Homo-oligomer: A and B are copies of this chain.
Amino acid sequence: MDGSPDDISNLKYLLEPESVAVIGASRDPQKIGYQVLWNLIGGGFPREKIFPINPKAEEILDLKCYPSILEVPEKVDLAVIVVPAKIVPMVLKQCVEKGVKAVAIISAGFGEVGNIAAEEEIVRIAREGGMRLLGPNIVGVANTHNNMNASFCQALPFKGNIAFITQSGALAIALVGWTLLEKIGLSALVSLGNKADVDDADLILYLRDDPKTSVITIYMEGLDDGRKFMDAASKVSAQKPIIIVKAGRSERGAKAASSHTGSLAGSDIAYTAAFKKYGVLRASNIQELFDWAMATAYMPPLKNNNVVILTNGGGAGVLATDECESSGINLMDIPPELAEELRKYMPPFGSVGNPIDLTGMATKEWYKGALKALLSHKDVGGVIVLYCHTAITAPMEIAEAIIEAYEESNKDKPITTSFIGGSECLKSQEHLRRNNIPSYPSPERAVSAMAALLERGKYLMKPPSKAPKLDVDRVTAQRIIGKALEEDRSALSSIEAFQVAEAYGIPVPPLQVVKSREEAVSVARSVGFPLVAEIESPDIIHKTDVGGIVLNIENEDAALKAFDQILENIKKNTPTAKVIGVAFRKMVEEGQEVLVGMHRDPTFGPLIAFGMGGIFVNILKDVSFRITPLTEMEAKEMISETKASKILYGYRGMETLDINSVVDVILRVSQLAMDFKEITDIDVNPLFVYRNGCVAVDVKILLGKSEKNENKP
C-alpha cells in the first residue's frame, strides 16, 4: 500500500470490497447510475453495504441516499463513479478524503475523446491519495464469488473459475449474456477502459493469488507498457494459464483498435513474440478463448505429446485426426498389448488404430473400459473422446462413463471431449463440464482444446534458462555510437557499424580505414586480399553512384590505385563531402546467407529477427521473432522455427553449417540492442554461414535520439 502505480494490494478493494458506494446513483431507470445500483442489489451484494450517492435524492431503490461520500457513516472500500467527467476530479478528492481504496470510473469523456489532461489529473489525484483507479470509460467490475455486479452489464455471470478482463466495454456486456447462454462460469469480470491506472499487468498479478480464479482470460486491443505486462506474465504464467485474444492482428484491424482505444499499436508480431516468451496462450477468437480456458481450468497440461482419439464414429475420428495434424498434436501408434486390451471393448470390425473406433455399437461399458485402459497406459499422454449420437445409446450414459473413467484414473493426464448431436448431446456436454471435464459440440474444438493443453505443457516443461553473460567491448561501441549521436546522425556509417559489431563479438571481415596514401599498402597487406575499398564519409550514402567503391582488389598495386581513384572520384563528384578515409575490407568467401536483425518495438522494446537471407526474407517472410533478453535456447528455437533453416541443418546431403556461430550472433545482437537504447534498428544481412563460423558481410545500425523518436513508425 505504498500508493505507487504498481502496488496491487489495493486491488483487493476493487475486486473484493466489503462496501461499495455508487457516486452518481440515479432514480431514472434509463440512466447508468440507476442500472449499476440495480445490478449491485440484484447480484446479491449485501444491501446494507451499498451506498448510493446523489445530492438530489433521499432514497433510490429503497436504499438511503447520501449527498456525498463524505456523509456515508461507514467505511467505503470501493467507489463506482458515474458522474459527468467534469466533476470526477472533485468526487475523487472526496473519495481520498473518505479513505476509499479503489475507484471504478464508468464515466467517459477522458483520453478516449482526446481529453488527456483530464485523465492525467484524475490519475494524479488517485495516486496521491493512495487509491487504485479502474477506467475511466468502463462498464464496471464484477466478482461472482462475492455477488458483486458493480457494472451496467445486465446480469452477474455464473460463478466459475475463469477471470475475464476486457479492453472493450461493449464486448463485456455482450459476452456476459453469451457466457450465461453457454453456461460458462466466471470468477471476475473487469472492464479496463482507458487503463489510466489499473491495467492488465496489475490484474493478472492480483488474480494469480486469487483462489477463486484458475485461469485468466483477456480481450486485448493494445498495451501501453509492454515490458510491464511481460514482467507480470513471467510471474503469473507458471502458476496460472493466461489466455488472450489480441485484436488488431491485421494492419487495418490494428488501426481500428488504435483509434478505438487510443492504445499505441506495437507490431502484432511483437505481441505474438512477447506472449510466446512467457507462455501466454494466444487464442484467435472469443470462442477459442473460452474453449481453452475451460480446458486449462479443468485439466492438467499435456506433458507427453502422445495422444489417442477414442470415437464411436469413423467420420468424427477422421475430422479430429486432420485437426490434430494441423495443431501439432501427435497421434501415437497403439502398442500391441494396449490394442489387445482395447479389443475387449469393441466388435470385431472395430479399429484399434488411432483413432480407436468403438463403432456405433459402443456402449457405456465399452467407453468406460477403453478410456480406463488408455488413461492407465504409460505411453498415453492424453485422450480426445468423441461421441456421435446414435440410435442405440443415450449420450448421458456415455458422459457418465467418461466421468467415471476419469475419476477412477490418476487424473494426471488431460482429456477433452466432443458430443456431436442434438439437445441430448448439449445436456451431456453441460453435465461433463459440471464435472470438470471439458466438452464441446465439435471434434475440432475438442482437438483445439487439447492443443492448448499441449502448448501449456511445453511451456511448463521448459528447463529454466537465462540470458548468457557475453564478453563485449561496450566502451568502444559507446564511443562510436556517442559520436554519431553528437553529430546528430540517424545511422552509423558502414565502417562504424562494422566496428560496433566487432566490439560486440559479431564476426566481421578484416577491415581498416586508410587515412593516407602512405599507409595504403601496409593496411591492404594486413587486411588481406582480395579486398574491397570503399569511401568512408558520413555524407555519402550511395557510394557506388559517386565512384566510392572498388571491388576485387587482388594485390598491393591495385589497392594503392583504388585508394587514389576513389579519392579522385569523390573530389570530382561530391567535393563537399567530409572524407574520413578509404576503408579496406577483406572480401569473404560466399556462404549460406542468413540475416539477424533487431527492431525496437514501441510497446515491447527490442524485437530480434532471424531469417534465411535474400529472397526468403523479402518475398517469403520466412522469419522468426523473439523479444529480448534472449536465452541460448530461444536463439536456437528462432533458427529452427524458420522453414528454410533446414538448409543449415544439412538438407539432402548438403553439409551441416555452424549453427552455434549463428546462435552466438543472435545473442550478441540482442545484447547490443539491450545495451544501447538509442539503437532503433540493427540489420546484419547477409551473414554468411560456413561449416565453421560465420561472417557478417553487411551491418546497418540506425539510431534514434530519444524514446519518442524511436517510437515513430
Q: Which residues of B contact A253 (CB under 8 A)?
A: 318-319, 321-322, 325
Q: Is A676 an interface residue (CB 8 A)?
A: no
Interface segment out of the listed A78-86, A365-373, A631-639, A645-653 = A645-653
Complex: A312 Cα to B421 Cα, angstroms: 34
CB <8 Å contact, B318 and A176: no
CB <8 Å contact, B615 and A174: no
CB <8 Å contact, B319 and A247: yes
> What's the nearest-Cβ distance from chain B to residue A116, in Å?
16
- Contact digits for A154-176, partner B, Cβ 8 Å, 1 yes 0 no: 10000000000011111101111
CB <8 Å contact, B173 and A321: no
Q: Which residues of B contact A312 (CB under 8 A)?
A: 170
CB <8 Å contact, A325 and B252: yes
Q: Which residues of B contact A249 (CB under 8 A)?
A: 322
Least CB separation from A355: chain B residue = B256
Complex: A174 Cα to B250 Cα, angstroms: 37
Least CB separation from A359: chain B residue = B170
Least CB separation from A139: chain B residue = B391
Q: Which residues of B contact A287 (CB under 8 A)?
A: 442
Q: Is A514 an interface residue (CB 8 A)?
A: no
Complex: A357 Cα to B256 Cα, angstroms: 10
Interface-central residue, A152, A166, A167, A181, by most chain B CB under 10 Å: A181
Q: Which residues of B contact A425 (CB under 8 A)?
A: 174, 177-178, 181
Q: Is A24 an interface residue (CB 8 A)?
A: no
CB <8 Å contact, B313 and A391: no
- Contact digits for A297-318, partner B, Cβ 8 Å, 1 yes 0 no: 0000000000000001111111
Number of copies: 2
CB <8 Å contact, A176 and B643: no
Q: Which residues of B contact A442 (CB under 8 A)?
A: 285-287
CB <8 Å contact, A388 and B441: no
Q: Which residues of B contact A351 (CB under 8 A)?
A: 259
CB <8 Å contact, B247 and A315: yes
CB <8 Å contact, A221 and B315: yes
Q: Which residues of B contact A117 (CB under 8 A)?
A: none
CB <8 Å contact, B391 and A360: no
Complex: A250 Cα to B322 Cα, angstroms: 5
Complex: A707 Cα to B316 Cα, angstroms: 32
Complex: A263 Cα to B296 Cα, angstroms: 38
Q: Is A98 an interface residue (CB 8 A)?
A: no
Least CB separation from A166: chain B residue = B315
Question: Which one, B30, B113, B219, B325, contacts A251 given CB within 8 A?
Answer: B325
Determine the interface band of chain A, counting residues with CB < 8 A from chain B. Answer: 35 or more
Interface-central residue, A153, A322, A388, A622, by most chain B CB under 10 Å: A322
CB <8 Å contact, B314 and A260: yes
Q: Is A422 an interface residue (CB 8 A)?
A: yes
- Contact digits for A425-444, partner B, Cβ 8 Å, 1 yes 0 no: 11000000000000001101
Complex: A180 Cα to B312 Cα, angstroms: 21
- Contact digits for A322-339, partner B, Cβ 8 Å, 1 yes 0 no: 111110000100000000
Q: Is A390 an interface residue (CB 8 A)?
A: yes
Question: Which one, B168, B250, B256, B317, contacts A256 given CB within 8 A?
Answer: B317
Least CB separation from A247: chain B residue = B318
- Contact digits for A234-263, partner B, Cβ 8 Å, 1 yes 0 no: 000000000001011111110111011100
Q: Which residues of B contact A221 (CB under 8 A)?
A: 315, 318
CB <8 Å contact, A171 and B316: yes
> What's the nearest-Cβ distance from chain B to residue A233, in Å?
21
Q: Which residues of B contact A154 (CB under 8 A)?
A: 391
Complex: A615 Cα to B388 Cα, angstroms: 44
Q: Is A620 an interface residue (CB 8 A)?
A: yes
Q: Given A173-B390, A388-B170, A420-B178, do A643 and B618 touch, yes or no (CB 8 Å)?
A: no
CB <8 Å contact, B324 and A250: yes
Interface-central residue, A170, A421, A425, by most chain B CB under 10 Å: A170
Complex: A442 Cα to B287 Cα, angstroms: 8
Q: Given A152-B391, A253-B325, do A181 and B422 touch, yes or no (CB 8 Å)?
A: yes
Taking A178-B441, A247-B319 as given, write out 5 further A-B residue pairs in contact, using a Cβ cutoff of 8 Å, ordered by the A residue number. Answer: A154-B391, A177-B422, A252-B324, A253-B322, A260-B318
16 contacts between A and B (CB under 8 A): A30-B392, A113-B349, A168-B314, A170-B313, A174-B390, A174-B420, A178-B441, A180-B423, A247-B322, A248-B318, A248-B321, A251-B325, A252-B325, A253-B325, A256-B317, A256-B321
